[in-house]
Amino acid sequence: MNYHIGDQVIHSTFGPGKIIAIDEKRLAGQTRQYYVVDTGELSLWVGIDEMGEKSIRPPTRSYEFRSLLNILRGPGEGLPDHFHDRKNQLSERMHNRNLTNICFVIRDLTSRSLLQNLNYNDRTVLRRAEEYLLDEWELSLGTTRSSASRELEVLLRRD
């Protein structure tokens, strides 16, 4: 087992949580052990095996997290103009909550929003990416959400 009761983790789909128990369940005739992860909104049972271990990870270390924020300061890269191509590219980048890709999505969509109005999908992806980033920001840097949100606005400001 890589995690212990009390450890903070990031679930690839549901975001930050805390391991509150290690439990055994019998499913399909097999008994397996599970981490019980409390996200604040729901409890998840994550298998203590290779597949389960891949769906959770520890929060990013503070120094690594700070270096990722430099991505947000950089100039945005162009996204495809065709709606479906852009939607597919953004979906690929958002997969598995990879923080590097999340930062690129935020940077590039924010840059695009300065040149043209974002469509509904673009706005939804941007909000979701910002929420993912802020969730982990709180854990990694031990800051409040409102403080992280203000700092994010400053990082994205293009004067």
- Give residue 42's domain range: 8-57
- Identify whether residues 26 and 82 lie together within a single domain: no
- Dump pLDDT digits (tens) for 48-71: 876 666 789 899 999 999 999 999
Question: pTM score, two decimals?
Answer: 0.84
Helix (H, G, I), strand (E, B) or coil at 24: strand
- Dump pLDDT digits (tens) for 17-40: 999 999 998 888 888 899 999 999
CA 87 centroid distance within chain:
18
- Identify whether residues 106 and 31 lie together within a single domain: no
Q: Provide the pairing of β-strand 56-57 with 43-47.
A: unpaired
Phi, psi values for residue 100, rounded to 5°:
-60, -50
- Residues paired with residue 46 on neighbouring β-strands, in sequence order: 35
- Identify whether residues 125 and 48 lie together within a single domain: no
Given a cut of 80, is residue 158 above it in pLDDT?
no
Residue 135 lies in a domain: yes
Q: How many CA atoms lie within 13 A of 81 on its CB side?
A: 2
- Identify whether residues 119 and 133 lie together within a single domain: yes
Phi, psi values for residue 43, rounded to 5°:
-110, 135
Residue 3 lies in a domain: no
- Identify whether residues 69 and 140 lie together within a single domain: yes
